[in-house]
Structure 1
Amino acid sequence: MKLSRDYALGWVLLGLFLIFWIGQTLVGWQEFMAEQAAHGEGAAVFGDGGYVWNWARTTLENWQSEMLQLFAMVALTSVLIFRGSPESKDGDDEMKETLARLERRLDELTTRTTVANGSAVHEERIRHLSSRMAGD
């Protein structure tokens, strides 16, 4: 029970992989039989012109394109960046810089309000809001 729940995603993906691979095999076999019949030849699984070679070629072509795509996304995105992308490291630095700029601006507003109105109550209220915003 725990094994199936702990690795549920892996089991589901393995199941889907096998279902689609079997589907590819069956559809490929039907296509191979129709092609062989159109040429007046019998369809064989093994041998020089057997289906196994066509099946292996299509399977490896499919896997090659998928592995190339996966390699490109994993390997290249770990080295290269795309500015503004959630995966790029520049997002956190820019966010921290923006927060610091907003805090400085809020401090300026607090100081200006205090000087303009001379009200300690108003200053305390703005500082209270500032601390609440910083805590969120």
Structure 2
Amino acid sequence: MAEQKSNWFREHSLFIVLFALFVVFLVGMAITGFEVYNEEQVEHGASPIGFLQYLTTGAFGEATFENWESEFLQMGAYVVLTIWLVQKGSSESKPIDEPMEQDKDPRTVDVGPRTPWPVRRGGFVLVLYENSLAILFFVLFFLSFALHAVTGAAAYSEEQAQHGLPGVTPWEYLGTAQFWFESMQNWQSEFLAVAAIVLGSVYLRQRGSPESKPVHAPNDETGA
């Protein structure tokens, strides 16, 4: 029994560690953001608020969702763009002019009991399933985008009120330069990071990582 438990953690260790790091940094962001928020409250002559109340503020929501939005946009765009676009020599690219197993039409393969149910079912279910990864990321992007607009409008309106100015609705907030500045300052960094690994993996290596080509592979060898 102990051996099975150890194997399960090993088999899922990448997700477990990544999710644990997400929780650690989210908690760290909440704690430090809470301190910054109360410092600003005192500077404006307002009373500090409790930690749980801070988690319901537009300031915390906006800081959270503007970052989630950019991450999901990056991953969704990367999943879709790598269907058609290539980078010679990159481990992040499909091989140039060579068919891959991922390109195969699932309607032409032999199905078995371990074949995913949507493939065996076919029809519209299969159409959704064969595009489900991109759909997931873009649904999460638009959800985060909407939550960014709602919480950002609340934070923006609170700041406006401190200066005796009227607040805005989420729809009105979408038309402000502030909203698009918050979004694009994250979007540009996400696509820069992806571009860096796409090009960097042409010439650089990391032994043991599936994101890298084998150390001995030629620079112009394309694909994993």
| TM-score bucket of the superposed structures, by smaller chain | 0.5 to 0.7
Counterpart of 1:124 in structure 2 is none
Counterpart of 1:89 in structure 2 is 95
Q: Is the 8 A contact 2:33 2:60 kept in 1?
A: yes
Counterpart of 2:64 in structure 1 is 59
Please say if 1:30 is aligned against 2:16: no
Residues 6-36 of structure 1, C-alpha deviations (whole Å, 9 max, x = no match): 1111110111000000011111101101000
Question: Using CA pairs below 8 Å that are at least 6 residues apart, which structure has the higher relative contact order?
Answer: 2
CA distance in 2, matches of 1:39, 1:51: 20
Report the aligned-residue RMSD: 2.6
Counterpart of 2:49 in structure 1 is 44
Counterpart of 1:18 in structure 2 is 23
Residues 38-70 of structure 1, C-alpha deviations (whole Å, 9 max, x = no match): 0010133577x9863211111000101111111
TM-score, normalised with respect to structure 2? 0.36
Identity, % of aligned pairs? 30
Structure 2: give runs of 5+ residues left out of the alignment. 100-224
Structure 1: give runs of 5+ residues left out of the alignment. 94-136
TM-score, normalised with respect to structure 1? 0.57
Structure with higher Rg: it is 1
Task: Decide which structure has greater helix share.
Answer: 1
CA distance in 2, matches of 1:50, 1:9: 29
Summarize the alignment of residues 96-107 of structure 1 with structure 2, pairs less than 5 Å apart.
Answer: none
